[in-house]
Amino acid sequence: MSSPEAARATERPTGVDLRVRVGSLSFKNPIIAASGTFGYGIEFAGLVDLNRLGGIVVKGLSIEPMAGAPAPRICETPGGMINAIGLQNIGVRAFVSEKLPKLRRYDTAVIANVFGSCVSEYVEVITVLEDSEGISAYELNISCPNVERGGAEYGTDPSLASEVVSQARRAAQRPLWVKLSPLVGTIGLMARAVESAGADAVVVANTYPALCINAHTRRSHLGSTTGGLSGAGIKPITMRLVYEAGRVIHIPIVGLGGIANPTDVVEYMAAGASAVEVGTAHFVDPRASERLVDGLEAWCRDENLFEISRLQGSFEV
């Protein structure tokens, strides 16, 4: 007869280890709520168990409050939606005093999305946040298509991207993620540029500029004319960008685009992502991220996969 120790050694594990790492940061699971789709996080506390999430990226923070784009701001499309929120936010100082203290009560990583209309504004926002406790990392937004300045102009020019990232790197003691635009000829070129400038990870990718016209009025469905396309329809395109970026950089990638079910998460991780951000799905179901954690655990158990980190980069050509 085998010994009790041998029997225990051959027993199948009963739990699934969903922990992942993005650079120096450890997350309890790879599910992170994307910026602009989950408020400042605290607004969802009555609907979602925030402790279940791997992390939350809060609404983009500017040095001064911003009113955002004119209404209407969202238009549903086949396979997704177009939004033009225009980075409406209460400003970084109000976030620090009003929102961040409440977020500290929860056991989830808080990532501050940072933007500005010029390099000095990015740095100023980070400087304010540096004195505040409860933030795990910064997500530098250099790719928003819905603002006139500080958005795609940085995200499509490697030299401008390098400048803003290097200046932010000097100001930031915390890990620095850079959210990339999909509108580049070669995603690897931009990814390498921000890696060289000091980024600790890249987020691939932001929304795709788009237009939705009302056939009856012949006017845009959005108050700001154009917006950013997100949702299921962009997933295969963005997944290719994740895969291509992963072939040329050595820093982690966070995948973002059309994630709504556990297999979406698995596919992004197989393509090279260390974690994912969930966005548009929250507009359909505010509890989408929490449900994904449960669904992902069940998927892994069904597949006899007990360490989700093994999925990362497992795609075979």
Three-class DSSP category at 297? helix
The per-residue pLDDT for 154 is 79
CA distance 191 to 74: 29
Active site residues: 144
Closest of 260, 275, 259 to residue 311, by C-alpha: 275
Query: What's the CATH number for 4-311?
Result: 3.20.20.70
User: What H or E segment, with its residue span, contains residue 253?
Assistant: strand 253-256
CA gap 279, 162 in Å, rounded:
26
| pLDDT range class, residue 6, cuts 50, 70, 90 | very low
* Helical axes 288-302 vs 262-271, angle rounded to 10°: 70
Mean pLDDT in residue range 158-182: 96
Per-residue pLDDT at 144: 67
- At 14, is the pLDDT very low, low, confident or very high (cuts 50, 70, 90)? low
- Name which of 3-17, 43-57, 229-243, 250-264 the model is least confident about: 3-17
Provide the residue ranges of all domains of the chain, joining segments of one domain with +.
4-311
Matching residue, tokens 């102009």? 153
In the block, residue with structure tokens 């845009």: 220
Q: Would you say residue 145 has pLDDT above 90?
A: no
Q: Which residues of 267-289 are buried (b: 16+ CB within 10 A; e: fewer)?
A: bbbbbbbbbbbbbbbbbeebebb
pLDDT surpasses 50 at 11 = no
The residues that bridge with 20 in the sheet, in sequence order, are 27
pLDDT digits 0-9 by tens, 209-253: 999 999 999 999 999 999 999 999 999 999 999 999 999 999 999
Tell me what the mean pLDDT of segment 277-281 comes to.
98
Read off the tokens for 78: 């086949």
Task: Determine which of 18-27, 78-87, 193-202 has the lowest per-residue pLDDT on average.
Answer: 78-87
Q: Is 311 in a helix, a strand, or coil?
A: helix
Q: What pLDDT score was predicted for residue 155?
A: 82
Q: How confident is the model at residue 10 (pLDDT cuts 50, 70, 90)?
A: very low
